[in-house]
Structures are given as structure tokens and as C-alpha cells.
A and B are shown apart, each in its own frame.
Chain A
Amino acid sequence: MTILQKIDAMKTKVLVFSTVFLVIVLSAMSALKAKIGTSEYVPLDTTKTAVVEDSSYRTMMQVLTHERCLNCHPNDNVPKQGDDSNPHNFGMSRGTNDKGFAATKCATCHQKENNLYSGVPGAPHWALAPKSMAWEGLSAAEIATVMLDKTTNGNRSHEDLIHHLTEDELVLWAFDPGVDNEGKPRTKPPVSEESYKAAVKKWFANGALIPKE
């Protein structure tokens, strides 16, 4: 082999090695980029294992699993009352439209605001949550699932849900539950209204992921 011939062979080797090297480097780089997570990455499955950030979920669920919320989301037809969730006095029950019986309705006693003289709680459109939204006895994850499911949540989109959870006066009644028939203030959820609303918005903003329990 002549020297020229040797130099040509070397050029080829360098070219080949460079190319291979470049390919390897580029692959490595793109692989590295994938691990860091660019805005192009989209999670594939919401039921997959633990999501990194779930503190907003926990904050939100502390409220949604509170007795006061569950009292009006019973798994039967009977509204519950009080911290001990005893069945509503006098056999009061769902009726045909979640608003009580034909003549003696929720609205016979419950008005659109708390009554501080009688201790009867009140908020606009006071009524039972429909049967499809029966949360009593469900775990937090089950509640969240049912809540996100359009077939059970009154055909609500995420936008609708955020509105319902953070702006509906009956829902927010939890934070202003008034006094009982002896004038004693009712217990409130363990987080503030602001923290709750922020948590809800954040949770939805992050894709409304339900961590495995």
C-alpha cells in the first residue's frame, strides 16, 4: 500500500469513527434530554404508578372526605347530620329529585344561608348530591375517580369541575357551616378555604392525577 493509499484509508476510518461518535453523542444527548422532561413530554396513563407531586391532591381530598361533605353525598337516600354523621332527623330523605319529599322539602327548613337563630344550615340550592355522586364509603381515590368521570359527575369537564369545587356556594358552605341548634359553631375542614381552592386549581392544572393509595 502506498502512503497516499494509507492516508485515504485513515480518512475513511476517521470519518466512520466521527460519524459513529457523533451518532452516539447525539443519541446520548437526546436520551439525556428525555430524562430531564421537556414541555414536549406528555404522560401516557393517569392510572400509572405514583405521580411525583400529590400534595395538592391531598389538600383537596382532606376537604372532600370531610364528614360535612360526605353528609350530603350519602350512598343511600338519607342525608347525614353532624360530625358523627347520624341519619337526618325525622326520616328526612332524598325524595324523587334530591330535594326532599313532595311537600316537606329540604327548603321547608333549609334556606339559602345559615340560620343563626335556629341552627339550621343553609346555602343556595340546598339539596342532596345526586345518587351518581354518592361518596359515602368511598376511598379518596375512588371519590376522585368518580368525580372526574363524566358519566357520573353530571357531564362536567375539568373546567366545570374547577368551577363547581371552588365557586359553588353549596360546596363552599363547608368553610362557613354556621352554628348548630345549641348555637355551637360547626367544625370546619382542616384546611383553609384559600388553601383548598389553590389546591384544587393546582391539581387540575397538573393534570388531575390520582395517586395510587
Chain B
Amino acid sequence: MTKEKKKLSRRKFLVRGGLGTIGVLAVGTYLFRNTIRRGIAGMVNTADTPYMGNTSTPIIWFEITAQNKVIVHSPKVEMGQGTFTSLAQMAADELEVGIDQIQVVHANSISGNIDGFATGGSTSVSALWVPLRELAATMREMLKNEAAEKIGISVSEVSVANGVVLGGGKTMTYADIARNVKEWDVPDTPMLKDVKDYKFVGKAIPRVDLKDKVFGAPIFGMDASMPDLLFGAVVRPEYIGAKYIGADISKAEDMPGVVKIIKENDFVGVVATSLIEAENAKEVIEAEWQVERNWQTADIEDMIKVGKGEPFLIQKEGDAEEILDDSEGLITSEYKSPIGAHAQIEPNGALAHVEENKVTIMMSTQVVKITRDEIAERLDMDADKVNIVPTFLGGGFGRRLHTPNAVQAAVLSKAVGKPVKCFFTRKEEFQNDTFRPPTHHVLKAKLTSEGAIKAIEHNVSSGDVAFGSPMLPGIAEPILGADLGAWRGGMIQYGAIPNFRTISWRQKLPFATSWWRSLGLLANTFAIESFMDELAITAKVDPVTFRLSQIQDDDRGFRLKEVIKAAAEKSGYTDKVIKGRAMGFAVSTDANTPCAQVAEVSVVNNKIKVHKVTCAMDPGLVINPDQVRAQCEGAIIMGMSAAMFEKMDIKDGQLTPTIYGPYQMALMKHAPKEIDVVLLQNSDTPGAVGEPPLGPIGAAIANAVFRLKGERLRSMPLELS
């Protein structure tokens, strides 16, 4: 373990920004709630999230192996979004090594390289853009300094390339230099290179985890293993709101392979010598649940209605309320979206090994720190005795932004004194998900005589997304009022409209709702952009021109207009129906990344078929164009899946369906045959990529369907009558 002399540097963040700022504002501003709330809402809508973790020394980030490779320890997890590859590119460029010399691994919590936030919100690359490069540049300088000292020359005589230092006629690899160094001098952060001088950043480098994923390497949480491993299973509720009372374990105790049945106050579980044996024993445990009420889908639909629940004004400009108050010339429409499941293919679970003085957890999670702290609390141990070893995630999508199942695995391991691997069944995943909440939208507008929008109002009713998540400090709820995840994408982005407002209606549902990739963006964009289409048609203006003419002239407005124009041009957008196909246009801005899409659609046997999607997105600086494209392609089809097929229902108290197939999702045959992605870079820092492309697709398809069939689809999943 090397020590390093810490020096004050620009890396230390004086204010933890983002959510920390909310805490600071909380005290003095309670009296000015509405204005401040809107201010915070605006801030959250556009804010860059700073990296909230340990950037004090490069030593916990970069490890140099004897083979002269650099292992980058990433506190952000890789769930397919390509972050590892971007980090490798950024690090390689500043470290002066070849991209093949870099290997990115997950940082385990005991190393101290812990992300205080989470991996999510499309923030990993934007948060690490400056800190990681600074750390890499610092590491490079540390190596140069050390080499210069070892060679006996001044550091200005030293040059570096591909992990090798040259100077004074000598050659030293980074491995040579780093060997046996006990104490590093951490210098001031050097200047970063110019982006145009980067060799890797900006290039379509193949994913660094590609080969592992193609050749079946055991890299996922479910693949984790240890000697003497046992298998656990926990009884999980089937009914909404079920409270665990107790269990009769008599039948389970003698089942084959059972090591122990563990009864806790809050759950009952079994440990056995194989997964199948654990599941079989679990089947015969008779758990007792207290269920207050047998919910039905209709009950939820009744709750999620604009006008019910608590309203919060989150956006206001001009006098929309007054203008839209009377019915003269008033255009109004309603839209709905259903409960959505994450359905990521790797179920949640963990391998826990609880020993006397230390705990090791191997698992897929998006919240390393929170999970560590929850386990430490449950086991009454210090947090630094709990080591979370994150694995590659078989899908995240926000499902793993809270992973308390690791606590249960730890309890089981402690009870048997051996490592225990405990996973959800697929049915348990479907019934114990933290769902995308259902929504209801009411939009109102009035047009001027020239066919522009005079005033527009968006009311969105939704279950919670952010509130109830352990990621938010408790103080956030009373301060923010409206759930910032629920109204994500719900604000009016057309700043040239003189009067607009957005009202978020908050309703707490009886089952868990939380973060689902892009949060409220998909549903909100569906509602707003369908409505914009309706208004454009009423105004007799084509939808592209209609949108362009209502965008303000500033930086955000400029970027938004550019993606609209790019999408329209690349797709050859037309309102006409040609050979049984029509196009639909939609655009959204998510966390500063505008994204416009055109869907080319036909209807065959009353079924919607999407042939092609054109996508123009401006995520700012593009680290890896191939991976940004991949995110667009995937998000578009995932958005299609949610817009056209996915729906959870509640039947006699149980969430249903509980299996793929009945939970309909987009398959190979549904995927568009063509996806054209145009990337714009009208900002010089990297912004959000993983979620923004989910926004427009629902509305784009519905708008195309309208042109084709004259039927306005206002409910997802989209179905023709």
C-alpha cells in the first residue's frame, strides 16, 4: 500500500454541487418555496452533475502491472452503456499509453475509490470528463518525475509515449518506474491536452469489454463464485403491499440439500447446497403476509389522473394560466402511459461472504456506496470492513439504483458462516420491481391567428420516481415538492412561446416506482410531442417548421434547432404518405442533450410496423461515436418496446405478467431495418448519451400513425383500434 503526500489541488470540490447545493439552500429559502423550487427544477433540468467521489490521488485509480499495462479502476459501473470504453480512451490519451495497454475494471469499495452518487442519470462520462483526465495527466507526471529522479535528469528532459519514458539515453517502462515506489509525490494538476490532440477520444474504438462478452467470460454478478459456495433463496412477496409476518418452515427443513433456514424479523430465507435445492425448499416454506388490500389496475388508473394528488408548479413563463382559462379557441388533449417493468435479463442478486472482521460482496449494482452502508448497518460493522466488488451488470436501466437484496444475502452468509449466492427468480423480479410509474397528461394550448402557440400548459400526473429512493437526501422531498424524475422531460422546451407552464401532479402509489431509463422522458415527450403535432396540424404548418419557429435564440435553442434540422434533412421528412408509409417527427431535450427523431412507419394487418428511424442528437463532445450510435440504436428500440408493447397490470392484488412473452417486448422482428444516426457536437464538453434517445420515439411513431390512418393514439402501448 503506497502512501502519497496529498497536496491541495483544483480537484477538491469546494461545493459538492447538485443535491448538496439543495441542502445548503434548504435552510434559508423555505419561505420562498415556489420560486426556489422552480429555480432548482430548472437547475436540475440543465445541470451538469459533478463527480462526487475521491479524486485526491491517482493511485486508487490507476494500477500499473508488471506487464506494463495500466488497470483503470472505475468507480462507475459498466452496464452496457459503454462507460468503461470512454474512460479507457480518456485515460489513455492523458496517460500516454496505447488503448490496448489499458484494462478497465470495477473499483471495489475497500480501495477508497468510491462514487458518492451512483452510476445513472447519463452522468458518468460528463462527471468524469475533467477529473479522470486530470488524474491521468497527474499520474503521467508522477511517472515522469519518478523516472527523471531514477535516471538522474530533470523532468524537462524526459519524453513519454506508449507507456515508455525516454530520457538521458535511458528507457524506462511505466512498470519499471512504478516498481517498488513506496511514496509518490502528487504534483499540481498539469494542463490537459487540447481535445484536437487526442488520439483516442473522439474515435470509434471497439468496446474494451467486447471480447469478454463475445466469448462468454464469467464477468457478471450471476457468474460470481467462491470456494465453498452455498446457494440462498429468499421468500419474496407476491401481493402489493404485503407485509411479512412470519413463516412456518417445518416442511422446508428436511428438504434435500438444505443447510439452514433463516428467519429474520423482515424475511425468511434458505441456504442449500445448490440453487435448485434452495428454490425447492423455498417453495415449501409457508410464509405469512399481511395484505391490506387487493389492488386492481383500475384502482391505479383512478389515482393517476391530472387533478388528483398534489400539484406543483415547476415551470412558468408569462400568463398561461389566465390565457388558457376560457374555452375560446382552446385546444386540449389527454395522454396516458402504463406501468413499465425493467425486465433486465440478469436478475438482481449477490454473492455475500461474511467473515468475522470483513464482508465481501460480489454483485451487480449501480449504488456501491449505499449498498455498502446498508450492509454495514444491518451487520453492525464499520463500512470500511464491507467490500463491495462490483461486477459487470447484465442490464441496469435504473433497476439497480437500489440493491437491498445484498443485505439479505449477507444475512444468509453470516448465518451459515460460508459464502452464499442469492438471486431473484424472474417472477420475483417482475413482482418486486421498482417500476416506471404510469402517467396521465393533460395539455392545453391556444394558437395565435398566425398559427403560432400563444400559450401552452402541460399537466402531468405520475407516481414517484426519485422520492423514496435512498439516493436522495430526505430533505429533497419537502424542498423540491415535485418529483424531479417524474417531470424529467416534462418541461416545455420551446422557449419562444410567450406563455407556458408545467404542473406536476404527484401521487404516491402502493407499489414501488422509481428510476427507469430516462425516467419521465419517454411518457412526457410522448404527450408533449404528440400534442405539438396536433397543434401543428391545426395551425396548418408542417411539424418541423412549427417547432423551429417557437424555439428561443440562445445556446440551448440553437442546439435544439440544429438537431431538428438535421433529423428533418437526413430523413427527407415529409408529411405525405408514400407507398403506404408515413413519417412522424418528435424531439426532446434531456439533461442538455437534444435529440430529434423521425419514424418511418406503415400499418400492416392493423399492426404498426416501424421500418426506419432517423435520429439526430447533440450530446456535446463525443468520446466514442460508435458507442454513442449504439446507445441511440438501443434506446430507440427500447423506447419502441415501451411505446408499442410493454404494460404491467394488476390483477387481484398481484402485478402481472411475471414472465417474458406475456410481458411483451420488442424482439428482433420488430426492430427497424434501418436506423440512421446523425451526431452533432455543438458543445465542447461531453453530455448525456444513455437516456436522451429514448425520448422522441413514442411520439414519432404515433405522429406517423396519425398521418397514415387518421387515428390519434393517445395511450401507450400504442394500439390501433
Contacts and interface: CB of A to CB of B under 8 A. Distances in A.
B669 interface: yes
A89 B427 CA distance: 17
Contacts of B667: 90-91
Contact of B662 (A89, A91, A183): A89
A91 B658 contact: no
Given A90-B667, A91-B669, A181 B276 contact: no
Interface string B294-313: 00000000000000000000
A182 interface: yes
A117 B658 contact: no
Interface string A84-103: 00000111000000000000
Given A91-B669, A117-B276, A182 B427 contact: yes
Contacts of B658: 181-182
A90 B427 contact: no
Interface in B644-677: 658-659, 661-662, 667, 669
A181 B659 CA distance: 8
A140 to B, nearest CB: 31
A90 B276 contact: no
Nearest to B661: A89
A102 to B, nearest CB: 15
Contacts, number: 14
A: interface residue count bin: under 10
A117 B658 CA distance: 15
Interface in A138-188: 181-183
A54 B427 CA distance: 46
A91 to B, nearest CB: 7
A127 B667 CA distance: 24
Question: Which residue, B276, B659, B667, B669, has most C-beta atoms of chain A within 10 A?
Answer: B659
A183 B238 CA distance: 13
Nearest to A81: B661
A90 B662 CA distance: 9
A93 B112 CA distance: 55
Interface string A116-142: 010000000000000000000000000
Nearest to A88: B661
Nearest to B658: A182
Interface string B425-454: 001000000000000000000000000000
A91 B276 CA distance: 30
Contacts of A89: 661-662
Interface string A23-59: 0000000000000000000000000000000000000
A76 to B, nearest CB: 13
A178 to B, nearest CB: 15
14 contacts: A89-B661, A89-B662, A90-B661, A90-B667, A91-B667, A91-B669, A117-B276, A181-B427, A181-B658, A181-B659, A182-B427, A182-B658, A182-B659, A183-B283
Given A91-B669, A181-B427, A182-B658, 8 more contacts: A89-B661, A89-B662, A90-B661, A91-B667, A117-B276, A181-B659, A182-B427, A182-B659
5 shortest interchain CB distances as A-B pairs: A89-B661, A181-B659, A90-B661, A182-B658, A182-B427
